[in-house]
Amino acid sequence: MKILFSLLFIWVSIFSYTQNYKFVYSLDARLDSISSAFDLSENMVLFYDHNQKSSYFVSENKLKRDSIEILVRSGSISKMEAMANVSNYPRTYFDFRVFKNLNNETVRTIDEIMIVLYEYKENLNFDWKIQNDTLTISNLKCRKATTNYAGRNYTAWYTDEILIPEGPYKFKGLPGLIVKLYDDTESYVFTLTQAARYNDLIMEYHPKKLVQTSFKDFYTMRKDFYNNPIPTLESFGSRMSPEMKKHTRERYKMFNNFIEIKPD
């Protein structure tokens, strides 16, 4: 993917003016491990607060939808206006929101199954193996590092020209910003495409109700749902014929290649 500007130039420009940064990653993902039918590409956003040493990672499409709901809650727009606005935004297949604090190892994730929001926390201290390999990506000199998480082996290319130990999704802890990250099957590929200063208040979404759980339990619930979504769908009022149930089961089973393939 061609980046329209030099990330290094942008970084030098923003460093002097602000302590808040916004990094955009393209995510190319294969959600069905045996077919390209659900190969998707979507922009993801990493907000980083340098003073607080904290970050927020979310789909750009989900961020837009969250922003609309925040406006409704504040009374800035009506529910009718919100419904009209949401229809203008494409849906996201990546419902997770990831919150990191570099002052400790805790990573907090909010994710969804149907319309139920779950929150779980992990203590993640990635065991990075830094290699001697180097590569220039978008005018940034990068170095290779490898690690593993939740059943996948990952390669990261990070740059010490941007001294932020952050990266996409839950990944962190390298001596510089991750510019590119992918697993060894290339089912999930994150590539940095934009960097900018960010002075505005981040419209972070705070849902009214969260179900507290563990990563292991969330993983199990999600796996069970996609293997057989019918009981959950019926509990929300869906009524389906036997043929529709069969079709629904087959369709949901195509989403079989989640970014975590086993709980650590």
pLDDT for position 31: 92
Token pair for residue 137?
């990506």
pLDDT for position 202: 57
DSSP structure string for 233-258: HHHTT----HHHHHHHHHHHHT----
pLDDT digits (tens, 9 = 90+) for 74-132: 777 776 776 676 666 668 889 999 999 988 889 999 999 988 999 999 999 999 999 99
Hey, what domains does the chain have and what are their CATH numbers?
7-197 (2.50.20), 215-253 (no CATH)
Average pLDDT of the residues in 216-233: 93
Grouping H, G, I as helix, E, B as strand and the rest as coil, residue 130 is strand
pLDDT at residue 5 greater than cutoff 70: no
pLDDT digits (tens, 9 = 90+) for 123-173: 999 999 999 999 999 999 999 999 999 999 999 999 999 999 999 999 999
Q: How far does CA 188 lie from the centroid of its chain?
A: 11
35-52 in b/e form (b: 16+ CB < 10 A) is eeeeeeebebbbbbbeee
pLDDT for position 162: 93
pLDDT at residue 61 greater than cutoff 80: yes
CB atoms within 10 A of CB 9: 11
